[in-house]
Amino acid sequence: MPCWLLRIAGVALSVRWSDRFEGAGRLGWDDSFGVDTGTPACVIRIQQGRPPRRLQPDPEGLEFSSASVWAVFRRNGGWTFASPAPGAGEWQRLLSWSPRRSQADLWLNPSIVDHDPVQNLTLPFFTALFAQHQGILVHAAAVVVDGRAWVFAGPSGSGKSHWTRQWQERGLAVLDEDRVVLRLLDGQVWAFGTPWHLEPRLCSPRGAPVERLFFLQQAEPDAVREVRPAAAATLLLRSTQLPVYDPQAMQAVLDVVGQAAIHAGPFLLGRATGDRLFDRLAML
């Protein structure tokens, strides 16, 4: 069975899949996240067909459903993620994860020929996985300024890609332009790039301690304003993928969000209409 060892946000993973998917490369994820050595924190096995009956989702164990896209079921101290959600059509993906065994098994409907077998289950699964490692998955961009990360959080259309391109043109390294992992490491919040990007050239497996946290289009055009930690925590939660079905995971999320809001120097940031705002940020 082909195997790929990778590291995302400092968390080592081993992905194994059948020969059917060998030609698909790295599940549609960037090769730069691959590593040669390391002890995986989780092994993800991908295979075709329906799982054994004992591992299939129990309707009584349903904990959360995200519209018709995916749902999560409680199972023997772990979770089963399903896509689509029950009642929304024939199943396509079932991912059973056992944190205690550090193993996840993804079963695919035989009709699937997608280059990314995980697809709709990527965010819900990795949200839960990173929470185990004091990490959160944030809808944000990040760049590195003098060895420190500046994180730009905001919804789609708020200007994350625009900001990252502008900083890249100014010679700064880009961690990611769409999805960033924030992890609490030795009492400090770090930002990491992820393989889930809009543009391959705007992502990196690197990480850096977070120095600044900006919330996009939360101020007037060309304005930057400091924000209190309590307000920053609320805004950061709005941009964070939340494992609301798991109280333990949610506590980890709140720990990371709280530390980021207190120590990352949070600001509200308006839309840039020229170079003036970039010049002001460079002097912070």
pLDDT digits (tens, 9 = 90+) for 3-17: 889 999 999 999 988
Tokens representing residue 175 in the block: 């961690």
Contact between 191 and 130 under an 8 Å Cβ cutoff? The reply is no
Question: Would you state the pLDDT for residue 215?
Answer: 97
| pLDDT mean across residues, the chain | 90
pLDDT digits (tens, 9 = 90+) for 118-135: 889 999 999 999 999 999
- Computed from CA positions of residues 89, 90, 91, 92, in that sequence, does the dihedral angle turn out positive or negative? negative
Residue type, 112: I
Question: Would you state the pLDDT for residue 23?
Answer: 44
pLDDT at 112 over 90: no
Question: Would you state the pLDDT for residue 238?
Answer: 96
pLDDT digits (tens, 9 = 90+) for 53-62: 877 888 899 9
Tokens representing residue 27 in the block: 């599940």
CA distance 77 to 66: 21
CA distance 175 to 194: 8
Mean pLDDT across 80-108 = 92
pLDDT digits (tens, 9 = 90+) for 172-231: 999 999 999 999 999 999 999 998 876 667 788 999 999 999 999 999 999 999 999 999
| Distance in angstroms between the alpha carbons of the first and the last residue of the chain | 51
Closest residue by Cα to residue 137 from 79, 193, 195, 179: 179
- The HSE-up count of residue 142 (CA atoms within 13 Å, CB side) is 34
Cβ neighbour number for residue 188 with a 10 Å cutoff? 11
Q: What is the set of domains in the chain, with CATH numbers? A: 3-131 (no CATH), 135-282 (3.90.228.20)
